[in-house]
Structure 1
């Protein structure tokens, strides 16, 4: 009588399917029998054929070899909700969520009009002014809300105030908190502002950003065109003059 068949040793990768090694071994032996291999020469399947890829990993992507994702390159998680804020909501969030986003951006080196360290009271004052602009219809604000309701990102759209510039708007203060990066919030916020601008009759958007900053990849990937670079246009949070690149995007 032939010795009982024992499944070949397998790695921990098979722990999610404990019966799979035995099934594969049986199928392998049946296949050898069909091919006419003598019983005393039938071998069990090599262990490496019985392993399977971890179920929680995408094909060809090792958990230790995943490419680093740009903060704004991924897709937004369902838990993050982007919504337009009313003037009253901007005023309500000014002292906490919105101020925290601005302080975090400056601490991280973003050139957004302030020097480091940025006091929370100064950031709150700026957002209070933005709330007044929202009441007048000059500035519109969108915020990303995290799973716990906290604000994780923000963007504003400023409409041109001149009679000959009513077709134009400016994207300003696109900020994503460092704790929420890698979820595509920057692209999601930008897309919301662009869609609203187009739906309300704007045909051209402009913005400026520090040259060679991470934000440039986001804008270029979203279809924006660089119009030119101005050297030493604005200082970074440390007070060092940096070049600024101007971008534009036609809508419609």
Structure 2
């Protein structure tokens, strides 16, 4: 089941969200964090960085439930600048390592795209490490590569810098 969290339902979801983020970082996801990465740091990300945006109405936070627990999440962040009323960013598509290959990422992206359309957003933008397997999912959903920036992000395990690919999708 895919749902959009609200400020009211966020607090009861924090532990599941922290578990997902922690697991994804520890399996090599390039989502802004590097090892060592604690569960407390994962919890702080959700409480200190995401909750304020959710409370202010600056983002939509989608979650995927499997057997009563959140196993995946993604954020839709509409552009705030007046010259970009048509654009939104896709951020932190995460599926718990134990729940992958079940279609949760695809389902989350479907809900995100529906919400973007409801909000009148016609262009979605995201970035992903160029070697990340998520690129295959994004391409299958109709995202196109805009370009690649070499040396953009640090590998989560080693002190080497890797390229990031920027992708976009025109809706409707």
Same fold (TM over 0.5): yes
Match of 2:19 in 1: 100
Match of 1:221 in 2: 140
Q: Which structure ranks higher in relative contact order (CA pairs < 8 Å, sequence separation ≥ 6)?
A: 2
1:138 aligns with 2:23: no
CA distance in 2, matches of 1:178, 1:107: 9
Match of 1:210 in 2: 129
| Structure 1, gaps ≥5 residues long | 1-80
Among 170, 186, 191, the alignment partner of 2:110 is 191
CA distance in 1, matches of 2:154, 2:85: 30
Runs of 4+ in structure 1 over 6 Å off: none
* Residue 93 (structure 1) shift: 1.7
1:172 aligns with 2:53: no
1:241 aligns with 2:161: yes
CA distance in 2, matches of 1:137, 1:112: 22
* Residue 240 (structure 1) shift: 2.2
1:154 aligns with 2:73: yes
CA distance in 2, matches of 1:113, 1:90: 22
CA distance in 2, matches of 1:182, 1:195: 22
CA distance in 1, matches of 2:44, 2:85: 27
* Residue 88 (structure 1) shift: 2.6
Q: Deviations over 1:19-48 (max 9, x none)?
A: xxxxxxxxxxxxxxxxxxxxxxxxxxxxxx
Could you tell me whether the CA contact under 8 Å between 1:90 and 1:127 is conserved in 2?
no
* Larger of the two Rg values belongs to structure: 1
State the secondary structure of the residue aligned to 2:156: coil
* Residue 219 (structure 1) shift: 0.4
* Residue 92 (structure 1) shift: 2.7
* Residue 214 (structure 1) shift: 0.5
Match of 1:110 in 2: 29
TM-align CA RMSD: 1.0
| Structure 2, gaps ≥5 residues long | none
